Amino acid sequence: MGLENKIFESLPDVLTVKLDAVVNWARKSSLWPATFGLACCAIEMMNTVSARNDLSRFGAETFRASPRQADVMIVSGRVSRKMAPVLRRIYDQMPEPKWVISMGACATSGGVFDNYAIVQGVDKVVPVDIYVPGCPPRPEMLVHAITMLQDKIMKESVKDRTDTIEAESRGSIVPGTLPVTEGTALEAETEVEVAQKNISRPYTIPSRHERRRSF
């Protein structure tokens, strides 16, 4: 009785579907992970894309060396405090839509490395979509995580993904890992205030592309 019936009468070859479903289907069927191996979990990640556990069966085998061409970041391994700003910068360089898989105990919680050098969970630096337990997780678990992420993507809406400063990035700054800002505590400002001030992300150097945009 709706529009689709009218279209079906006049154009019988046309199939109507929700826009979200089409876009999400396209997104989930071609996930391009960024190459970001940090420790021994990376060996399992490499194994996941190689012949035995062929990740291309699920459309996510195209690992990209450039974050600008990737939309999934698989944080595989322990993130040191010195690496955390680098990781955040790579995350910021990835275009929307983007997702993060925290692979292994170290990336998820610091693992056995409960010390001054290791970030106790990468979710303090970037928002994480899927956590994979294990030390290291088997390739099957990473494949499972990818398929879980695909299910998650199918539940998203196109409206969820906007190419603005992420709200969650405000609260996820690791103390002490950042280049020194003006000395004012970022936590004191709400994300709205930060957005109003239109300042760029203080802990990354804006890329040429971002500078040109100069929002």
Partner 1 sequence: MTEKLHEFVETLKSANPEWVGDVKDALGEVTVTVPREHIFAACEFLRDSLGFDMLADLCGGDRGPEEDPRFEVNYHLFSTTHHRRLRLKVLLSEDDPKVESVTPLWKTADWHERETYDLVGVVFENHPDLRRILLPSDFDGHALRKDYPLRGYEPYSMN
User: Are 38 and 107 a contacting pair, CB within 8 Å?
Assistant: yes
With CB under 8 A as the contact rule, the residue among 124, 138, 144, 152 that binds partner 1 is: 124
**Partners of residue 113 on adjacent β-strands:** none
CA 97 vs. chain centroid, Å, equals 8
With CB under 8 A as the contact rule, the residue among 1, 9, 52, 116 that binds partner 1 is: 116
Under rule CB under 8 A, residue 175 binds partner 1: yes
Question: What residues numbered 77-96 form the site for partner 1, per CB under 8 A?
Answer: 81-82
**Partners of residue 75 on adjacent β-strands:** 102
CA–CA separation, 154 and 156 (whole Å): 6
| 149 three-state secondary structure | helix
Under rule CB under 8 A, residue 177 binds partner 1: yes
Q: Which is nearer to partner 1, 72 or 83 (CB)?
A: 83
- How far does the chain reach from its first CA to its final CA, in angstroms? 45
Under rule CB under 8 A, residue 182 binds partner 1: no
Q: Which is nearer to partner 1, 41 or 84 (CB)?
A: 84
Q: Which is nearer to partner 1, 49 or 119 (CB)?
A: 119
Least spacing, CB of residue 115 vs partner 1, in Å: 5
Segment near partner 1 (CB under 8 A), from 7-15, 36-44, 118-126, 128-136?
A: 118-126
Q: How many CB atoms lie within 10 A of CB 33?
A: 24
Structure tokens, 181: 């800002």
Question: What residues numbered 49-78 form the site for partner 1, per CB under 8 A?
Answer: none
CA–CA separation, 209 and 61 (whole Å): 27
Under rule CB under 8 A, residue 117 binds partner 1: yes
Least spacing, CB of residue 134 vs partner 1, in Å: 22
Segment near partner 1 (CB under 8 A), from 37-45, 93-101, 142-150, 170-178?
A: 170-178
CA–CA separation, 160 and 152 (whole Å): 12
CA–CA separation, 178 and 171 (whole Å): 13
Chain residues that interact with partner 1, rule: CB under 8 A: 81-82, 114-117, 119-120, 124, 175-177, 180
